[in-house]
Every structure is written in structure tokens, then in C-alpha cells.
Structure 1
Amino acid sequence: MGEALVAGLINSGSAPSAICIADKRVERLSELQNKYRVTPSTIENIATDCDAILLVVKPQDMGALIETISPTIPATTLLVTFAAGKRSAFIEERVKPGTPVIRVMPNTPTLVGKGMAAISGGTHARESDIDFVTNFLASSGEVIVLAEELQDAVTATSGSGPAYFFYFVEEMIKGAIALGLSEAAATKLTIQTITGAAAMLNESGKSPTTLRENVTSPKGTTAAALETFYQANTGEIISAALKAARDRSQELA
């Protein structure tokens, strides 16, 4: 995800040399420097080198990172957190009073320019901060601004959402193979079907309900398949899965 954000900053007009990156993995740092011509730094020094810092670490590592950099972060430096579940208040309480913080929940399709990101400003975030983050994230997908109390629901929907679709694709491929198709054929048929269906959702202007109904003939093959989903209470399972992800996001706060 960090690399996708670097690419997004460059695509939105930031000079590569003005982007400082730090990574505990020396090989990875060198790789990104060579690929994007960005400026390497250290976790200890980056706080004094930049006007905005993107915090792209696992939730459990955020506390230690903030403890390391907080002594040297000026109160005017924008901090942007990408850690699931970590509220802006978690960071605000550990840095200088008045420091602007923005919380972002992206997703992995950002890596191919099809991401979905939701951003929320903390107590001291300025409109210019929101605009800055929106601008560079928009270069790798869609962006919405939401109240922070909705971020756990966002995590459950778009943050974790790609994995739900990957799982569904996995199971469709397995099912198609069980019906006699080769793995190559099953994979191509399934992935292109998912890709085409997503394009229809984006481009047709029709609701998913309408699109589903349009392809479902009474007592036809699609109806038979959907009835299996209905009998298994698939809708309730999906709702329960989203709730579980939402609850876990709240636990990570």
C-alpha cells in the first residue's frame, strides 16, 4: 500500500525528490528510491524533513511509531494514518496539541488505480489538509469524505471488501472445476464474468437489484442458483460478516 501511495503523490503532481520515505527494510527502501527517485530518510529523521507524514503501518505498530517520531514532529505537520481501527484521537493524544490528523481507509485495488478510500478529518484537520489528501488519493481511485464514526463500517465494507470478492471468485472457480471445466477455463470464465458485472454496475446506471432481475428468467438456470443462495440465507451471512469486520475494527481502536 505504501508504494501505491507514493505513486499517487507523484501522479497528483508532487515532485519525487520532495517525497521522503522511510522503511525499516533497507532493501525495500532502496528499491523504492531507485524506482520512483524519491528521497530516502529514516523513521527518526522523517518527522523533521516533511510537511505531511503518511503513517502506513499495522495497527499494532502505530503506538511505537508515534512514540518514536512524536518528540520531533512540529504541531503544523499533517499526519495521515492508514491503520485500520486507529482513530485520529489515538494519534492526537500522543503528539503536540493542535497537530492535524486525517484518518484514511483505503483498499488494495489502489494498487491498480481502482481503489476506494474514505477519509475523515481529526479535531485539528484543516480544509486544505482534506483537499491535499483527497487530491493524491484520487489519482489511484475514488475518494469520499465521511465522519470518523463511520470509519469502522467503511473498513468492513470497502476496506475488507476486496477479500470477500476474492473468496467468492475462489469458490466459483472450484465449483466450475467440479462441473468438469479445466482450471484455466474456470478461472477465465469466472474472472471475466466478475469484471464484466462490475463494469455494468459502474456504467449502466442501473441498481444491482435491477441488473440481477434482468438476468434472472423465471424458473431458469439463474433462478435455480439464486434460490440456493436464498435457502442458505446468504444475505444474512454477508451481513454477519460485515458486522464481524466492523466489530474487529472497533476492537483495534
Structure 2
Amino acid sequence: MKTQADNKSIGFIGAGVMGAALIKSLISNSINAAQIYVNEKSDDRAKQVKDQYKINLVSIQEIGQSCDVIFLAVKPQDLSSALSELSKTLSDSAILISIAAGKTTQFIESQLKTKNPVIRVMPNTPAQIGKGVSAISPGANASGADLSLAKNLLSNSGLVVEVSESNQDAVTALSGSGPAYFFSFVEAMINAGVKLGLTNEIATQLAIGTISGSAAMLKESGLDATTLRKNVTSPNGTTAAALSVFTDKDLEKIVLDAMTAAKKRAQELA
């Protein structure tokens, strides 16, 4: 079945963890590796990505000259220099999709001084197994067709939602950084299980099984998190005892403070 991305040349400037996750998701679905052109400043990382995915390694100027869609997947602090190099050869018709945290479409447009459509995206790392979430926002020059193409490409990596660009820093704090919060919590569960007498192997199996089963239940049951939590919590029972500790430590405030710090840092990167 043909898609909007058939026969499109797709460039990646940057192939770190997130860039590579998106490359993997594209190749795992509808995109041929021969369609993908990558520039990565780290020679070791470039070789690793080329060996793993069989993509084309090229210069930034070659990407600008030949690619229909260009993912800006560099660190925020490296974006200006990448755009400066890209602007030397950038095709007028190329669509730019930026995953650089904190950097606005207006910033990219002002750096390039062109009319190229720019779309800002905040993905997350489960994209590499097709279970990611991406929040997408169009810039001033992006048409409905441009946005549709970007959604089509990103849908290979999981759920895609459209948000106002003013909400992108909040998205960064929730889903962009969210997998790390989750992994940190699982680490804490495993460590606690070991301290309570379980082997690391058993604690790991139980923690992963519990978390993955609970996530599937939340997604598939049709019930919200509050209802599911209440269904597990018998009055004066073991779960209630554990949750009372979370309440006493003000878990909700801890999460809010953490996400606020992430949002603030995203704003500082703008």
C-alpha cells in the first residue's frame, strides 16, 4: 500500500538515541533504508548507525540539496550551526521536522530566512519499538499537506497528537522525558524488592510484569487511572498502607516539581 512518503528522500541531521529510534521505526515500516540520508558528527556513532541500518552517510549540504524531508535531530545547542550549514544548499521544497527540545519553529525559520515549512515534534524513545508518542506542532509556513506527511512518517513510531506549539514544553516535561521517570520508578521498585528479601532476578521479573500488565490494563480496560487505583486499594489493606506513604511524602507534588523543572529547562534551551 502506497503512502505519502513513498519515493521521498528523508534526511536526518543527528543520529543520537532519538534520531536512531525514528530511523529504526521508519525502516521497520514503510521506508526503505536507501531513502534515508544521515549526517552525524560523531564518527563512531555514524559508523554504528550505518552498520546497523544500512543508511547513506552524507554531509549536511548534501542533505539540504537532495532530501524532501529533513529531521533536525541534533542537540539544541548544536542546532544553530547545523542550520547555518544546511541553509547553503537547502531546497525550497524541503520540509523540516525538528525534534530539538525547546527550539521553536520561529527560531528555525528566523535562522534559515526561507519559506520552508517547519514542523516541531516532541517524540520519545519507545518510538524504536513502535510504541512511542509524538506531539506535533506546525510552524507558520507549514500547510495541511505538510503536517499530514509529517504525521504519516511519525505514525510509524506510535501515537501522534497535534498540540499548540505553546504547549510543547509541557509535552517535553510529560511524555518527552516521561520514559526516564518510568524507568527510574521501576529501578526503585526492583531495589526495594531486593532490600525486602527478593533476588534481583525475581524482583526484576515481578516489577516489569507488574508495570507492563498495569499499563496494558490502563490502555485496554476503558477505565481511568483513578478508578483502577481505587479498585486495587482495599480499606486498611496492604496497598492502602503503601499509598499512604506516597500521600505523606506528597507524591503528586514531587511529580509536579519534577515536570516543572523539565519544562523550565526546555524553556531555557529555546
SS across alignment from 2:92: coil
- The percent identity for this pair of structures is 47
Corresponding position of 1:26: 43
- The residue type paired with residue 261 of structure 2 is A
Matching of residue 183 in structure 1 with residue 200 in structure 2: yes
Q: Measure how far apart 1:74 and its partner are.
A: 2.6
Deviations 1:49-100 (A, max 9, x none): 1111111111111111111111211332111111111111111001133111
- The residue type paired with residue 123 of structure 2 is P
Corresponding position of 1:225: 242
Corresponding position of 1:163: 180
Match of residue 2, structure 1, among 19, 22, 25: 19
* Between 31-40 and 222-231, the greater mean CA deviation after superposition: 31-40
C-alpha distance in structure 1 between counterparts of 2:40 and 2:152, whole Å: 24
1:171-250 counterparts in 2 under 5 A? 171-250=188-267
C-alpha distance in structure 2 between counterparts of 1:230 and 1:193, whole Å: 21
Q: Is the 8 A contact 2:70 2:97 kept in 1?
A: yes
Q: Is the 8 A contact 1:75 1:100 kept in 2?
A: no
SS across alignment from 2:261: helix
Distance 1:30 1:167, change over 3 A: closer
Corresponding position of 1:251: 268
Corresponding position of 1:95: 112
Corresponding position of 2:57: 40
Q: Is the 8 A contact 1:8 1:136 kept in 2?
A: no
Corresponding position of 1:152: 169
Q: Is the 8 A contact 1:20 1:49 kept in 2?
A: no
SS across alignment from 1:45: helix
- Root-mean-square deviation (Å): 1.5
* Between 90-99 and 31-40, the greater mean CA deviation after superposition: 31-40
- The residue type paired with residue 177 of structure 2 is S
Runs of at least 4 residues of structure 1 off by over 6 A? none
SS across alignment from 1:57: coil
- The residue type paired with residue 199 of structure 2 is S
TM-score (norm: length of structure 1)? 0.95
**Structure 2: which 5+ residue stretches go unaligned?**
1-17
C-alpha distance in structure 1 between counterparts of 2:70 and 2:101, whole Å: 17
SS across alignment from 1:139: helix
Q: Measure how far apart 1:140 and its partner are.
A: 1.6
Q: Measure how far apart 1:31 and its partner are.
A: 4.0
* Between 73-82 and 86-95, the greater mean CA deviation after superposition: 73-82
C-alpha distance in structure 2 between counterparts of 1:8 and 1:150, whole Å: 25
* Between 78-87 and 90-99, the greater mean CA deviation after superposition: 90-99
Aligned residues: 253
Deviations 1:143-191 (A, max 9, x none): 1011100000000000011111111111111111111111111111111
Deviations 1:126-153 (A, max 9, x none): 1121111111211121110111000000
Q: Is the 8 A contact 1:74 1:96 kept in 2?
A: no
SS across alignment from 2:70: strand
